[in-house]
């Protein structure tokens, strides 16, 4: 950028520059300089002359990473956590260590709650009757002849059995929702021969207060495009792209589009190949590379000041287990050349405009729907944010071993929610819903694919072409509907979604 233009832009925003900042800005593109200066102004920087010290002080909030100076320069999206590791050869001992680190991480979260009194380990329970509290992992559960529930539980010191009496209806119902490998605190009476449950305590997720971002900008969330499928709703997706570019919609909608600065794609970006038997007859584009090229052409139409982040899903050309690595270079083609696109792992934790946003494709959600009677019977696939509550209760994205492939890591379990996000976004359910759980905003994304045979078979009726957009500052979410000929507001004129759920 020319010196003269840099100075003009800064003066317009009320700033002068010292020599080092002038040199720094001159090596960047106009879009990047504008973003930095506008953000500094919005942060309420009172100094009139911008110096390196002032810049360093706000660098983290600006989302700038050192290694990017002089290239892309600014990245409003900070990647707080993602999985990037080589798949080494693994043995049985690696799985044992993996379960140990997972147990310890969740046990520590439970202990930090501070409400577990008389905490013991299974080995210390002994044969004398008493009241006990211990943290255990569910090993097995079964119904006895008398229709009570028997839960086999283990910790690092041993294994025991806990009986839940069917007469205690509320507790019995709670116990039925316990999943294998869940880590919970058990409050019991009895002895090492047989324990009788009185309460289960989940690690749970709870932010003391709701956090808000620092910029009046929007993030749009889309997922499950399934590019390459015959059911891919290309025209509708293009209507969304045209809206982002300010080409369609009424004045209000166009003004809003201009404030969308980020776009997050939450998996199933392409339809993929060989995902399920007989899939080829539903493919319009027969190869993954061709499907990604098509996606690159579509995303390439989006105005370049929008930063795009993309995680993979089960239809993408990546390892199908979780965590999923970011899409590899050999598949990405022209997507990899897009300067405003960042491909990261599933799950990934982002920081955008001051908000911590956890993005997860949600491969485990179907397991929760199948296994938890309350959800299966009362909601099915119709209420994904209710399912997300079960994840937040457990502080684990996919607790049941065997529901999907995993790559154990000795360093830790990437699927444990050690730090809580401000916003938790899931894809994969093809239905937009907004919820709130203990000050954490929960969002499920829609899709751009019409109903598939598989969805008919499992009773999942999708709600395609809806796009939730999140204001970083107010945390209001608006849903836009691109299913018809015009861009319409999903939730009436006030544009603010009703929140579903409330935490506990």
Judged by the rule CB under 5 A, the positions of this chain that interact with Fe ion are 224, 268
What is the spatial distance between Cα 360 and Cα 351, in angstroms, rounded to a whole number?
A: 14
Count of CA atoms in the C-beta half-sphere (13 A) of 117: 1
Is 132 or 361 the residue whose CB approaches Fe ion more closely? 361
Asked if 293 and 336 count as a contact pair (C-beta separation under 8 A), the reply is: no
The nearest distance, CB 382 to Fe ion, in angstroms, is 16
Question: In terms of CB distance, is 55 or 292 closer to Fe ion?
Answer: 292
Rounded Cα gap, residues 141 and 352, in angstroms: 42
Torsion of the alpha carbons at 247, 483, 452 and 264, rounded to the nearest 10: 50
Q: How far is the CB of 444 from Fe ion (least distance, A)?
A: 12
- CB nearer to Fe ion: give 99 or 282: 282
Instruction: Name the minimum Å distance from CB 391 to Fe ion.
Output: 18
Question: Is the Cβ of residue 268 or residue 389 nearer to Fe ion in the bound state?
Answer: 268
In terms of CB distance, is 224 or 390 closer to Fe ion?
Answer: 224
**Shortest Cβ 47–Fe ion spacing (Å):** 49
* 141 bridge partner residues: 151
Strands (E), 393-448: 423-426, 433-437, 440-444
- Tokens describing residue 136: 């255990």
CB of 427 to Fe ion, least distance (A): 7
Orientation angle between helical segments 234-244 and 288-299, nearest 10 degrees: 30
- Nearer CB in complex with Fe ion: 323/363: 363
User: In whole angstroms, how close is the CB of 451 to Fe ion at the nearest point?
Assistant: 11
Of 187 and 430, CB closest to Fe ion: 430
β-strand pairing of 119-120 with 130-143 = parallel
Please list, residue by residue across 475-486, b when 16 or more beta carbons sit within 10 angstroms of its beta carbon and e when fewer do: bbbbbbbbbeee
For 233-238, the CB contacts below 8 A with 24+ separation are 233/448, 233/449, 233/450, 233/464, 233/465, 233/483, 234/298, 234/448, 236/448, 236/464, 236/465, 236/482, 236/483, 237/298, 237/448, 237/465, 237/482, 238/298, 238/301
Alpha helices (H) along 233-287: 234-244, 251-258
Helix (H, G, I), strand (E, B) or coil at 119: strand
- Cα separation, 347 vs 230, whole angstroms: 28
Measured CA distances, 109 to 113, 177, 310, 415 (Å): 7, 20, 30, 14
The nearest distance, CB 402 to Fe ion, in angstroms, is 22
Q: Cβ of residue 139: shortest distance to Fe ion, in angstroms?
A: 33
Q: Do 440 and 211 meet the contact criterion of CB atoms below 8 Å apart?
A: no
Minimum distance from residue 445 beta carbon to Fe ion (Å): 10
Min dist CB 287 to Fe ion, Å, is: 19
């Amino acid at each position: 950028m020319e010196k003269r233009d840099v100075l003009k832009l800064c003066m317009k925003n009320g700033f002068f520059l010292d020599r080092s900042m002038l040199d720094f800005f001159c090596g960047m593109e106009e879009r990047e300089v504008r973003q930095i200066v506008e953000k500094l102004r919005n942060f309420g920087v009172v100094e009139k002359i911008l110096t390196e010290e002032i810049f360093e002080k706000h660098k983290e909030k600006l989302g700038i990473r050192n290694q990017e100076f002089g290239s892309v320069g600014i990245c409003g999206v900070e990647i707080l956590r993602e999985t990037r590791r080589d798949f080494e050869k693994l043995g049985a001992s690696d799985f044992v260590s993996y379960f140990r680190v997972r147990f310890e991480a969740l046990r520590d979260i439970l202990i930090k709650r501070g409400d577990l009194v008389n905490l013991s380990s299974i080995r210390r329970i002994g044969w004398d009757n008493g009241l006990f509290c211990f943290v255990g992992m569910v090993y097995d559960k079964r119904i006895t002849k008398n229709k009570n529930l028997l839960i086999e539980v283990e910790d690092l010191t041993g294994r025991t059995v806990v009986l839940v009496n069917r007469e205690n209806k509320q507790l019995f119902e709670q116990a039925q929702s316990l999943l294998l490998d869940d880590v919970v605190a058990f409050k019991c009476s009895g002895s090492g021969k047989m324990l009788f449950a009185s309460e289960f305590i989940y690690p749970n997720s709870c932010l003391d207060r709701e956090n808000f971002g620092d910029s009046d900008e929007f993030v749009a969330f889309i997922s499950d495009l399934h590019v390459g499928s015959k059911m891919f709703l290309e025209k509708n997706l293009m209507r969304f792209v045209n809206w982002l570019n300010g080409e369609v919609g009424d004045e209000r909608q166009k003004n809003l589009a201009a404030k969308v600065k980020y776009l997050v794609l939450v998996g199933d970006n392409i339809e993929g190949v060989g995902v399920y038997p007989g899939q080829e007859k539903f493919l319009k584009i027969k190869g993954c590379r061709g499907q990604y090229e098509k996606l690159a052409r579509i995303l390439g139409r989006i105005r370049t000041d929008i930063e795009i982040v993309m995680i993979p899903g089960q239809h993408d050309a990546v390892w199908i287990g979780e965590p999923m690595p970011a899409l590899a270079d050999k598949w990405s083609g022209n997507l990899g050349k897009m300067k405003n696109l960042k491909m990261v792992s599933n799950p990934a934790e982002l920081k955008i405009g001051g908000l911590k946003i956890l993005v997860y494709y949600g491969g485990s959600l179907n397991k929760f729907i199948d296994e938890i009677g309350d959800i299966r019977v009362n909601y099915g696939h119709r209420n994904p944010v209710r399912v997300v509550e079960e994840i937040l209760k457990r502080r684990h994205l996919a607790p049941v071993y065997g529901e999907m492939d995993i790559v154990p890591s000795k360093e830790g379990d990437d699927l444990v929610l050690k730090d809580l996000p401000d916003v938790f976004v899931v894809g994969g359910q093809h239905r937009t819903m907004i919820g709130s759980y203990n000050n954490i905003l929960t969002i499920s994304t829609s899709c751009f694919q019409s109903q598939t045979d598989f969805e008919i078979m499992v009773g999942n009726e999708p709600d395609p072409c809806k796009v939730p957009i999140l204001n970083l500052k107010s945390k209001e979410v608006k849903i836009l509907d691109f299913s018809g000929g015009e861009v319409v507001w999903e939730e009436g004129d006030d544009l603010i979604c009703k929140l579903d759920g409330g935490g506990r």
